[in-house]
Every structure is written in structure tokens, then in C-alpha cells.
Structure 1
Amino acid sequence: MLLSSVVMSLVNCSPLFIAIDVVNTTSINSTSQGIFWKVNEQLRKHFNTVFFVSTSGFSMAFLIVTTSAFLLLFSLCKHKHKMQTSSASSLSMDAHIKAMKSLLSFFIIYTVNYTILILSQYYSSEKNLSLALSALQYSFPVIHSLILICSSPRLARTALRVLPCATCKGCPGRR
């Protein structure tokens, strides 16, 4: 997995290295309009390659996560139906239902995150929209962690123990 990550990073960055090389080898000291046009055109061509490679990489990751999430969800549903027919305990049934709800919420969060990631690739030139998309994109890991903490009673108790101000009602600070 680490090797594939390094290879994908190199593939993703190689058009950028070529574009930087084009800028460095072209004579920028000249004030001729044609040279600037040539450099700009070369950079645009290579940046389109970077956008294509990164978007396809994001899409492959999204496809893998979506496929595995649906396979796991169908497996949980199938197992839940088997448990209903064999009259298994309700605690186990509740755990399966909670797991399916968490999986669906993670899928929805990941889908929105993927959409924002793709939109931020294409609207990176607009500053205000890019800032808003980045803020939304960086909030999703926090939301994912909060869902995990809130869905597990043991993690929720640990979080309340670690965060002393969460259990204190109305005090501005701990004494």
C-alpha cells in the first residue's frame, strides 16, 4: 500500500515537474509577448494533465470505497435477516442496525466529500468559492470522528472523561 501510494504521488506530480522545467528552460527575461504566450500555453497543457490524473485518482478511490461499503452493507443486511429468522438476541440485532446506520452515514459523508473535492479541483481559481469548499472538505474528518465517538457508548464515555469541560454545566473554566 505504501509503495502504491508513492507511485501514485510520482505519477500525480510528474506533469508538474515537466511544467516547472518548461518555465525554467524558457527565456522569461525577454519582454516579447510570444514567449509569455508559449510558456502560458505549455503550463496550461501540463496543468490539465495534473487535473486529469488527480481526478481519476480520486475517482478510483471513491469507486473502491463505494464498492466495499455496499458489499459490507449487503452482507450486514443478509446477516440481520438470518438473525431475524433464527430469533437471535435483540442486542446483537441492535448492534447490526447501528453498524448499518453508521456505514450509510459514512457513505453519505464520503460522497459529499468526494463531490466537494472534485468541485474544488475545477473551481480553484475563484478564491471565495475555493475557500468555502476547502473549509467544507476539511470539516469531514471531524464529522467522521464525531460519528464514531457518538455511535459507541464506550468511546463516548472516554471522550467525556478526557474532556472535563464537557461534563461541567455552566462553569467558564475548571478550578
Structure 2
Amino acid sequence: MRKPNEIRRPARRDGLSIGAMAARTGLAVSAIRYYETEGLIAPWRNEAGQRRYDRADIRRLSFVLIAQGLGASIAEIRAQLAALPRGRTPTAADWRRLSAQYRADLDRRIAQLTRLRDDLDGCIGCGCLSLERCSLYNPGDRAARLGSGPRYLLGDSPDDTVENASDNSPS
């Protein structure tokens, strides 16, 4: 019985077994099956009805591993991989297009991680006001006017609270 995300291809003898995919990617067979059910890879069946994978699926799964390691969700990864062609091996140009689309998200994540690394020991604008420095950078929890969460780690600055406070002042 054909699964909905499997691609019908003519019977052929090549392709990698799920065990070979597991050995090459370092993933458990169960993880490969999970990614298959999530639509991230699409195996085909050989003449004997055995599930087979294209060698290009190694790269797709490697992308999945890297993206998950960077904190991307399965839904985000699925959206990125949807830019790649189905039914043929992605070319270098296909991967360049995906890379260009993913670059802005990676840059945003890198900036956020850099702020976390550099500023976690100081006031992050979360509203706890537990550090002595918080009274300087976030007096009276002004950062709350900018929204919820650790505002300074999310990209706002103490200067934004001053601008926001002057915008809300009575005329």
C-alpha cells in the first residue's frame, strides 16, 4: 500500500535501504521513518516492494539534523525543504536558493544567540528586576511597555523604552 508522501517511480534496482540511510546519517531507523511521515523525505519502492531512498535524501536528512540543532521546528524545516524539487535530485542552484531563503532566519538566530551570550549576566528586560543593574537599564520595568518576554534579548534596547515613554506622555 502506497503512503501519501511516497513518490511513484518506475521500478529500479538502485537506491539506499533504510538501514544504509541510518548508517550514513547516524539517525535511528525510527527517526528516518518519522521524518518520512512528516513529509521531509519521500522514499520509493523497488521491484520487491522494499522502501528505498535516493542518495540526495542523505543531504535532506543532514539539513534536518542541522536545522533542528539550531532550534528550527519540523514545520519550519518542512517549509524550507518544500523549496527543493521533488522527483529529482536537487542541484547546487536549488540548494543555493534554499540557503538564501534560510540565511535571514539564521542571521536572526545568530544575533539573538550573540545577545544571549553577551547579555545574560546583565539586565535582559524581562521584568524580574532582580539584579542591581536592572534599576539602571529597566527602571520600574519600563521594558514591559515594549511587550512580553526578555525585551532586550529579543532585540529591543533601553533606549526604546525612553522613546516609548515619550510617545505615551500626555500632550
Q: TM-score range by the shorter chain?
A: under 0.3
TM-score w.r.t. structure 2 length? 0.25
Structure number having the greater helix percentage: 1
Q: Normalized against structure 1, the TM-score is what?
A: 0.24
